[in-house]
Amino acid sequence: MENDLPVGLKKEYPFEAHILKTAEGHRLHYVDEGNGECVFMFHGNPTWSFYYRRLIGHLRENFRCIALDHIGCGLSDKPQRYSYCLDNHIANASALIEKIQPSTFHVIVHDWGCPVGMAIAELYTDRVQRIIITNGAAFASRHIPWQIALAKTIFPGTFLIKGLNIFARSATYSCVQKPLSEEIRKAYLFPYDSWANRVAIDAFVKDIPMRASHKTWKTLQAIERQLPTLEEKPILLAWGMKDFCFTETFFKEWQKIFPQAQALPFSDAGHYVLEDAGPALVENIQNFLMA
């Protein structure tokens, strides 16, 4: 799997591939670097574990960094007949926890990785030590940008996402305030090079529940109801304040849910806050985890 990576990508992402076989027999790829207490990193859509590359490179001297690629994303299998729903992503993440069996661990979440990672924190609340929440949500919201609403449609949404790769390509521009290099842009897009390989990008958008009749609504509500069980945990809210999707409204909602959380807003960062805030955020995360 890693042998298929372009030379330029290997330099930015020099990690050995690890595989978990899911209950359905699909290969879930994950990074497992370093030694020490485990830090599980959950990516969103349309990224992959590549999003955490610099954080992994920095933290692995003191922590065991584990960053999965959700099924359909990154270097994981991309089955065409699969239920790409929140329940299954949580089940896969839980299977990875059970495989590694950490006595304690930390959680870092971003975008659609928020409900997955927060569900894991709720399931393993006795083991979770610290939680870092970045631009995303694990609660129901009626706030949805027109771009996301359009992407949720079968037409033109699916055609734009799977046919023209508009969702992933535009994200490499719209989700950052500091332009990405062409090499980094290509790395983000590398796993999503065909109609078939964009199946999860399309499915993730369709799985955003906007009404009670949606299949994922109850799952998201259950996660939201359990969030107060984590209120005693040390939590860092690191936020790109120029996010067009997960705006300041979401940041403030998290502050209401976790008033004890340490707030770390970045006024000049967008949705891909780890790209925009760079070394400053990485350093803050390390300090928070080592406190």
Which tokens is 8 given? 């330029």
Which tokens is 205 given? 């958008």
Task: Quote the pLDDT of residue 1.
Answer: 53
For 11-28, the pLDDT digits (tens) are 999 999 999 999 999 999
CATH of the domain at 155: 3.40.50.1820
Provide the residue range defining the domain that includes 172.
2-290
Which tokens is 19 given? 């595989």
- In angstroms, how far is CA 111 from the centroid of its own chain? 5
Task: Quote the pLDDT of residue 269.
Answer: 98
Which tokens is 227 given? 């969030």
- Counting the structural domains of the chain, the total is 1
The amino acid at 20? L
Mean pLDDT computed over every residue of the chain: 95
The amino acid at 59? L
Which tokens is 107 given? 């959680």
Low-confidence ranges of the chain (pLDDT < 50): none
Rounded Cα gap, residues 198 and 217, in angstroms: 23
Degrees, nearest 5: CA angle 41-33-89: 30
The amino acid at 54? R
Task: Check residue 104 and give left, alpha or beta (phi > 0: left; psi -120 to 50: alpha).
Answer: beta
CB 48 within 8 A of CB 36: no
CB 115 within 8 A of CB 183: no
Nearest-CA neighbor of 78 among 204, 185, 172?
A: 204
Longest dimension (CA), the chain: 49
Which tokens is 162 given? 């799977």
